């Protein structure tokens, strides 16, 4: 059974993610601070109790999702934690740059909706990547005036 670790201190974020991602075949674990993620993973990540996915809210108290994801990647490269896919919950489109820098496997830009959450979670649990493009600015098409000779 897949296990998902959710790190968020806003109850509405936990409620939305849990409602969309939960099911009879998925176990959810919630921590309310960014500082609690690494200790929880150190205790559970190597055994059968480890998560298959970590969902990180951008703003989590005194250690936000970006710092947590960066810490997880550093711990992974040092051999102290296995690679665990991370889904970032971003506040704005400009935060995508940061999600790329911390090597997140996926991100969603708020406001969240159940369809995108389910799609992202299932894609990441299957080993893929999910990059939310729903709020990507569309290129502006400009047409040059005809030459007037």
What lies within 8 Å, CB to CB, of 61 at 6+ separation is 9, 32, 33, 34, 35
Q: How far apart are CA 47 and CA 108, in angstroms?
A: 28
% the chain with pLDDT above 70: 91
Q: How far apart are CA 96 and CA 106, in angstroms?
A: 10
Please, which pLDDT band fits residue 21 given cuts at 50, 70 and 90?
A: very high
**Residue 61 pLDDT:** 86
Q: What domains, with CATH codes, occur in the chain?
A: 3-131 (3.40.50.2300)
**Residue 49 pLDDT:** 81
Residue 82's nearest CA partner among 106, 124, 102, 54 is 54
Distances, alpha carbon 83 to alpha carbons 50, 103, 115, 123, in Å: 11, 11, 26, 16
Mean pLDDT of 46-53: 87
Between residues 130 and 135, the one the model is more confident about: 130
Distances, alpha carbon 131 to alpha carbons 96, 101, 103, in Å: 9, 14, 12
Mean pLDDT of 97-122: 95
Question: Omega of the bond prior to 111 within 30 degrees of 0, cis?
Answer: yes
At 26 the three-state DSSP class reads strand
Tell me the sheet residues that pair with 55.
6, 87
Please, which pLDDT band fits residue 148 given cuts at 50, 70 and 90?
A: low
**Residue 134 pLDDT:** 76
Mean pLDDT of 63-88: 96
């Amino acid at each position: 059974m897949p296990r998902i670790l959710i790190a968020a201190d806003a109850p509405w974020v936990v409620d939305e993610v849990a409602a969309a991602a939960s099911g009879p075949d998925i176990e959810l674990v919630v921590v309310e601070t960014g500082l609690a993620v690494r200790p929880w993973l150190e205790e559970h990540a190597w055994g059968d109790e480890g998560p298959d996915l970590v969902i990180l809210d951008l703003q989590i108290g005194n250690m936000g999702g970006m710092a947590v994801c960066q810490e997880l990647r550093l711990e992974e490269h040092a051999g102290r934690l296995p690679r665990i896919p991370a889904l970032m919950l971003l506040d704005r489109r400009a935060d995508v740059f940061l999600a790329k820098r911390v090597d997140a496997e996926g991100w969603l830009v708020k406001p969240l909706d159940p369809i995108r959450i389910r799609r992202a979670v299932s894609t990441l649990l299957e080993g893929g990547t999910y990059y939310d493009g729903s709020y990507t600015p569309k290129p502006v098409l400009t047409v040059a005036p005809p030459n007037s000779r």
